[in-house]
């Protein structure tokens, strides 16, 4: 039986993301500088995102690496990050592309009445104190037939933090008509290294 601790979202440690922005892309799965890692993420996004040009809301976009992949695949992207330094790097990375980068809270993105075809989030939901409430709000940002693409996980063995796939699927069930979980831990090329923790993506259509 899984311990209760893995079924609660631990409060993420407070981080100075402005201070971390300069080195953020040094991680293989952040900067996607390695051609194989970049190609692996591009292939996943191609499978997860619509096959036609769509409006994608990338929440907690960091330096914009996934946003750039989505734009290169023909989508229109709005990225949101609470760190001004991260947002500035994302704007530089996406300059000249069909993308807008906003500085704001991923939990309540500053997009007004705009609606999107995709809410794309990687390793952000677990840091938020009320994931169920946040998912309901994000659901309201999707057009009919839109989809969530959520990449999350559980990190650490002794004191695990994150959201198990089963819990995230359960939170999405009342909000969506289908939920598909794709396990990613065994795909080391995505991370630039071998990993032994739980990493996954959930694609859920509303």
pLDDT tens readout for residues 89-143: 999 999 999 999 999 999 999 999 999 999 999 999 999 999 999 999 999 999 9
> Which pLDDT score, from 0 to 100, does residue 95 have?
96
Looking at the whole model, is its pTM more than 0.75? yes
Q: Which tokens sit at 6?
A: 């893995």
Alpha helices in 32-164 (DSSP H): 35-48, 65-72, 84-93, 131-140
Give the pLDDT score at 8: 42
Rounded mean pLDDT, 167-174: 97
For residues 170 and 195, what is the distance between their CA atoms, to the nearest angstrom? 25
For residue 155, which of 19, 2, 6, 1 has the smallest C-alpha distance? 6
Q: Mean pLDDT in the chain?
A: 92
Give the integer Cα–Cα distance in Å for 126 and 124: 6
- In this predicted structure, what is the pLDDT of residue 14? 53
């Amino acid at each position: 039986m899984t311990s209760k601790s893995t079924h609660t979202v631990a409060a993420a440690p407070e981080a100075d993301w402005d201070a971390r922005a300069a080195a953020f892309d040094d991680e293989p799965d952040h900067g996607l500088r390695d051609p194989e890692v970049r190609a692996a993420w591009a292939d996943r996004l191609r499978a997860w995102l619509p096959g036609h040009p769509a409006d994608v809301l990338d929440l907690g976009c960091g330096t914009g690496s996934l946003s750039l992949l989505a734009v290169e695949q023909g989508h229109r992207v709005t990225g949101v990050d609470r760190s001004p330094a991260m947002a500035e790097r994302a704007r530089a990375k996406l300059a000249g592309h069909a993308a807008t980068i906003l500085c704001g809270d991923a939990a309540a993105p500053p997009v007004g009445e705009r609606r999107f075809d995709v809410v794309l989030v990687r390793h952000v939901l677990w840091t938020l104190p009320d994931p169920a409430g946040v998912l309901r709000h994000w659901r309201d940002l999707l057009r009919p037939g839109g989809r969530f693409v959520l990449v999350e996980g559980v990190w650490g063995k002794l004191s695990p933090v994150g959201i198990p796939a089963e819990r995230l699927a359960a939170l999405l069930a009342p909000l969506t008509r289908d939920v598909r979980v794709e396990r990613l831990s065994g795909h080391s090329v995505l991370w630039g290294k071998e990993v032994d923790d739980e990493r996954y993506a959930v694609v859920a259509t509303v």
